[in-house]
Amino acid sequence: MTKIAIFTRQIGPYHDARFRAAYAVCPGVTVVSTASQGWFKEFTSFDRSGGYPVKTLYNSLPDYDAAIRADEMRGAVFQALDEISPDCIAIGGWAAAESAAALLWAYENGCPCMIMSESQAFDAKRSRSAEWIKKQIVKLCNAALVGGYTHKQYMQDLGMADDLISLGYNAVDNEHFKTHAAAARQNADRLRVEFDLPDRYILASGRFIEKKNFPRLIRAYAEAKKAVPDAPSLVILGDGKERAIIEAEIAATAMPDSVTLAGFRTYEQLPALYALSEGFVHVSFVEQWGLVINEAMSTGVPVIASQACGAASTVISQGKSGFLVDATKTASIADGLTKLFQMSPEERKTMGENAADAIAEWGPDRFGEGFARAISQTLKSSPRGKLWFWQKAMLDNFSKRIIRDVA
């Protein structure tokens, strides 16, 4: 049996869905979780029951950070890989200290590597130096698993051959959202009372940070509501450092009764909140993928999404399963909202069904297929050579650095 080590910082519900799928097609998988918990624990309360083995290096993000500062990450990764003795390693992107350490171990032990990535060329301003470094790391990997078509193009731009790139990285547990959404619709009246929901609403969700674009969404919603006075309310899930700015925007548009900030909700509650809505809107300025789009589409509701979201060009068909908008323009978002508000219940239902059909092709099974293909390509690779001195120095440097957000 081929032994495979998959590196991840934490295991949330969507990680779990992917790893279960990987384990089903590659039973030699061991997941190496380097921080145990991540940044989104407010959204996630779930029991992992995937059956795949997990090796946890650190139990919290502060412990993870402390290990990097103390130059202990390389040793911890090396020890874990010595114990697993993998035939292949899958690293999560180019920016994590554990990815650099895993590549060092791989070259010392003649073990091939694949890289998993959700980056697009237009996610951020690109510098020549950063792009050069990424290209060097991609050169050290034998295959790649990416999200969709725009992500594949960027991986090709970084030097990976087309036939070595597989799709399907960005998946959620579609069945969880589909099944619980159906149950929620059977108990709609009770759940509206339990969750204190308006009779009619559209939903948005995310951390209250600048890139999520909630102030502009609220302005756009105000414009759309002028065009369609009986429009549903707007319910926004989440919280964060921009809450005061968002509250001020709600006050400025004089819509305190139409916009609700509902806080964080658990993984178990999310399907019902999607299912009882008339649509979902996600208009981030920058979003490498946007897994909330997968979640919403899985529950069978129409989606309005920013063209900048990685999911947009891959899973949304304009006017069929949702609407794509320019997140930098209030008028564009307002136009998408107005179109949704003017649809009949039957038209919304059809669009929601189209959304569910489209995202069904991009679930955990797609991840498992892409993962298996990438592993197969990796294992066919030529034997490892030795790292040049500068390559080793580069990886050693990154194994000692805390890097949060790199696109």
pLDDT digits (tens, 9 = 90+) for 306-341: 999 999 889 999 999 999 999 999 999 999 999 999
pLDDT score for 313? 82
The structure's pTM equals 0.92
- CA pair distance 115, 222, nearest whole angstrom: 43
Longest Cα separation, the chain: 67
Q: Where along the chain do the CATH 3.40.50.2000 domains lie?
A: 4-171+363-398, 174-360
**Contacts of residue 234, Cβ cutoff 8 Å, sequence gap at least 6:** 201, 202, 204, 217, 218, 221, 258, 259, 260, 281
Residue 161, SS3 per DSSP: coil
Contact 368, 24 (CB under 8 A): yes
Residue ranges, the chain, pLDDT below 50: 39-40, 42-46
Residue with tokens 């998408």: 336
Instruction: Give the domain 174-360 fold.
Output: Rossmann fold (3.40.50)
pLDDT score for 56? 94
Run of H or E including 122: none
Does 1.10.3720.10 match the CATH number of domain 4-171+363-398?
no
pLDDT score for 39? 47
